[in-house]
Amino acid sequence: MAKKQKEAFFTPIGIDTGQNGEIEKSVKLPEATKKTHKQLGLSDDDVVNMFEQMYLQRRFEERAMQMYQKGKFGGFLHLYIGQEAVSTGTVFAINDDDDIITAYRDHGWGLVRGVTPKEGMAELYGKATGCSKGKGGSMHFAKVENHFWGGYGIVGGHIPIGGGLAFANKYQQNNRIATCFLGDGAVDQGALHETLNMSQLWSLPCIYVVENNGYSMGTSTRRHTVGEIHERSKGYGMKSALFNGMDVFTVYENMKKIAEEVRKDSMPWFVEIRTYRYRGHSMSDPQKYRTKEELEEYQKTDPIQRLKTYLIDKKVSDKKNLEEIESRVEEQVLEAIDFAEESPFPEDEALFEDMYADEPFFHDKK
Amino acid sequence: MAVLQFREAIREAIDEEMDRDESVFIMGEEVAEYNGAYKVTEGLLDKYGFKRVIDTPISELGFAGIGVGAAMNGLRPIVEFMTFNFAVLAADQIINHASKARYMLGGQLDVPIVFRGPNASAGQLGATHSVAYDSMYAQFPGMSVIYPSEPDDAKGLLKSAIRNNDTVLFMESEQMYGLKGEVSEEEDYIIPIGKAKIKREGDDVTIVASGKMYHIAKQAAEQLAKDGVEAEIIDPRTIKPFDIETVIKSVKKTNRCIVVDESHPFGGMAAEVGFLIQRDAFDYLDAPVRRVTLPDVSAPFSKPLFDLWMPNAKDIIQAVNAVTYRS
């Protein structure tokens, strides 16, 4: 008689037993930089501005979530809360005309690259005054004039497009580099691997950055991909880095160094930034795949609180000044909500606008 | 008029546009050192170098996407697929990104890109190498689909496609690359996208056929003429936008219509044109519109089965006989 076969499991060995009471961290955070803002070449104004930018992203989304829960608008809403140091540190590190493209968790990126809170909130509401005229919604924020090429909704779909932005920069010899942000879930898409190969083959000036927030929707990193993400580019001979994304100085320091190198030698980089998503994948996510303790542990490392503490400890600013900034931001966000609510929806004619740059054509349109 | 092969006409269009505009480049499998899998791009590497004539790995999804990003960021890529059968791997970039990015970002960017290559079957190549994709892509808004039948159309339309500021799919055929035809020598020869051409005049029946199917329609019409039936052949040249007015006008004259389509029957160009004719020229019809398409079955390899599968002149003649009540 044949030996009894072990039951077939399709999950990595060792984590098939479920919760054992311990906090199962899906991402382990590397050490943050020890350098002060001065040592990093940032002025007092710069870091206070960083705080304001991060706080704006946070409050914008917290308020957006409230409005969503009140039923003010529909569609998907993927929140960036917890990851603000990544967008902010990057935007301060690269040039204003360097290109940024990202996936659908894009509100923070839009806000820090010039989508005003009003334009952003109006886009969530589907209003004509939104940054994408209400045609894109939450997943398709963009500000192309500021080289923010948008959020894209197909996981991995924007990765080769990021490579294409870099291709055009190299072709035009304009001294711009491209940065392409993707989630850890997108690491498993073939598009990434095709793009990494061609980027290295053709020396495209692009930084591919994985914002590893621990979860591919509801599947933890350890359960959806093998090995270490940042090592994934080794097979392509591409330079890589891994660093902490809960500390804005660490993101700034590393992205600045990498961006300078890419600008100089036009060779791509593959970067893993470890961060954490406080909220669910989208608003409909019951988050049964993680424990409350795990979430709380990461919230202790909150990037905004961390910067605030730093600013006060180092006497760059004081509590009063920061509170003033906080109320100014709050005011701005509330004004954005009023603006979104009062703004008109797009006119019916807008349905057929923006499809074509040239003479539009619509089959069988009477 | 110069007599050129289909591939030479395409090459001239690419060459002229690359010469005219520094932002135009071509990328794809085997386009550079190999001089093109079907020799369409022969000589272009020598003339323009590796900056503008770029060999890609076999990564259709990846290089199509790099093309889309480059188009957004100021360039005018021509992305060659060795066949549109392989472009299925790049469908996410064509359907989800190239044709939609402009709309979903509220018009903030343009995607002036041409995806081109052979379409449909090329003999006994089996099921995965034999599909006509023009009707499928025509289903999606945001892009033009061109499927010309003769070198002259190919040259003028490809130049238009490269200058177009939106996404254009330009479809050719392995079996037509060697086909010779007269091509206008007019300097900067441009044919506007979306205009059908009446390629044979006749009063008895209208036959609509594009791409490779035009040539079997022509054979059928020559046969039919011997029997005293004069067919009017309309080559739409562009599947999307589709010039239905020219077809309707012809049907109002002939009162009968056959649509020849190299796609499978469900929801293809033939189905769409048939619908529009019944709606817009119902009172003029002396017989139901008939179509000649592939059957709803994948391409077989075996020669007799393949011949049975592929539409031919006899199928068209039979359809004409049916609508003229001669059978």
The DSSP secondary structure of A177-244, one letter per residue, reads -EEEEEEGGGGGSHHHHHHHHHHHHTT--EEEEEEE-SEETTEEHHHH--S-GGGGGGGGT-EEEEEE
| Mean pLDDT of all residues in A133-146 | 98
| B39 contacts B177 by C-beta, under 8 angstroms | yes
Q: Which chain B residue has the Cα nearest residue A358?
A: B165
Burial degree of B216 (CB within 10 A; 0-12, 13-18, 19+): buried
Number of other residues whose CB lies within 10 A of the CB of residue A306: 18
CB contact under 8 A, B69 and A164: yes
Whether B264 is catalytic: no
Residue A20 has pLDDT above 80, yes or no: no
Residue among B69, B109, B142 minimizing CB distance to A162: B69
CB contact under 8 A, A131 and B96: no
CB contact under 8 A, A133 and B97: no
| Mean pLDDT of all residues in A73-97 | 97
Residue A355 lies in a domain: no
User: What would the two tokens of residue A116 be?
Assistant: 């005003």
User: Active-site residue among B60, B150, B172, B262?
Assistant: B60
Provide the pLDDT for residue A8.
74
User: Strand B114-118 and strand B2-5: pairing?
Assistant: unpaired
CB contact under 8 A, B72 and A164: yes
Q: How confident is the model at residue A22 (pLDDT cuts 50, 70, 90)?
A: very low
Provide the pLDDT for residue A292.
85
Burial degree of A199 (CB within 10 A; 0-12, 13-18, 19+): buried
- The CATH number that applies at residue A127 is 3.40.50.970
Residue among A145, A154, A201 minimizing CB distance to B92: A154
β-partners of residue B200 are B233
CB contact under 8 A, B141 and A355: yes
**Residues of chain A contacting B71 with CB distance shorter than 8 Å:** 164
Provide the pLDDT for residue A1.
55
Provide the pLDDT for residue A220.
87
Q: What phi and psi values does residue B168 have, to the nearest 5 degrees?
A: -130, 135
pLDDT for B282-293, tens place per residue?
999 999 999 999
CB contact under 8 A, B61 and A160: yes
Residue A341 lies in a domain: no
Whether B33 is catalytic: no
Residue B214 has pLDDT above 60, yes or no: yes
User: What would the two tokens of residue A49 be?
Assistant: 């501005």
Q: CB under 8 Å to A228, separation ≥6 — which residues?
A: A242, A272
Residue among B51, B65, B107 minimizing CB distance to A160: B65
| Mean pLDDT of all residues in B32-51 | 97
The 3-state secondary structure of B33-51 reads: CCCCCCCCCCCHHHHHCCC
Residue A356 lies in a domain: no
Domains identified in chain B and CATH numbers: 2-183 (3.40.50.970), 197-323 (3.40.50.920)
CB contact under 8 A, B66 and A163: yes
| Mean pLDDT of all residues in B25-34 | 98
CB pairs under 8 A between A and B: 156
How high does pLDDT run on average in chain B?
98
Measured between CA atoms, how close is B215 to chain A, in angstroms?
Answer: 26
Residue A7 lies in a domain: no
The number of distinct structural domains making up chain A is 1
Provide the pLDDT for residue A291.
82
Cis peptide before B300 (omega within 30 of 0): no
The structure tokens 């996981």 sit at A155
Q: Any idea what DSSP says for residue A144?
A: G
Q: Higher pLDDT residue, A310 or A222?
A: A310
pLDDT for A321-359, tens place per residue?
999 999 999 999 999 999 999 999 999 999 999 999 999
What proportion of chain A, given as a percentage, has pLDDT over 90? 81
Residue A30 lies in a domain: no
Closest CA to A289 of A351, A219, A192, A190: A219
Q: Which chain A residue has the Cα nearest residue B93?
A: A157
Cα angle at B41 between B35 and B44, to 5 degrees?
A: 85
Closest CA to B18 of B185, B158, B143: B158
Give the C-alpha separation, B225 to B216, whole Å: 14
Q: Which of A125, A193, A204, A358 is the best mutation test for B, with the most CBs of B within 10 A?
A: A358
B106 touches chain A (CB under 8 A): yes
Q: Which of A109, A147, A154, A194 is the best mutation test for B, with the most CBs of B within 10 A?
A: A194
User: What would the two tokens of residue A287 be?
Assistant: 């988050």
| B147 contacts B171 by C-beta, under 8 angstroms | yes
3-state DSSP call for residue B82?
A: coil
Number of other residues whose CB lies within 10 A of the CB of residue B102: 23
Q: Which of A123, A161, A176, A361 is the best mutation test for B, with the most CBs of B within 10 A?
A: A161
B166 touches chain A (CB under 8 A): yes
Please name the residues between 292 and 311 in chain B that touch chain A, using a CB distance below 8 Å.
none
| Mean pLDDT of all residues in B290-305 | 98
- Give the amino acid at B126: G
pLDDT for A239-281, tens place per residue?
999 999 999 999 999 999 999 999 999 999 999 999 999 888 8
**Residues of chain B contacting A113 with CB distance shorter than 8 Å:** none
Measured between CA atoms, how close is A338 to chain B, in angstroms?
Answer: 22
Please name the residues between 247 and 286 in chain B that touch chain A, using a CB distance below 8 Å.
276
Provide the pLDDT for residue A21.
43
Give the C-alpha separation, B155 to A66, whole Å: 57
Please name the residues between 69 and 88 in chain B that touch chain A, using a CB distance below 8 Å.
69-75
Residue B99 has pLDDT above 50, yes or no: yes
Give residue A93's domain range. Answer: 44-68+77-336
| B175 contacts B225 by C-beta, under 8 angstroms | no
User: What would the two tokens of residue A238 be?
Assistant: 């591409």
Q: Report the length, in residues, of chain B.
A: 327
Calculate the CA A145 to chain-centre distance: 19
Q: Which of B21, B66, B94 is the best mutation test for A, with the most CBs of A within 10 A?
A: B66
Residue A121 has pLDDT above 70, yes or no: yes
CB contact under 8 A, A191 and B241: no
- Give the amino acid at B321: N
Measured between CA atoms, how close is B212 to chain A, in angstroms?
Answer: 24
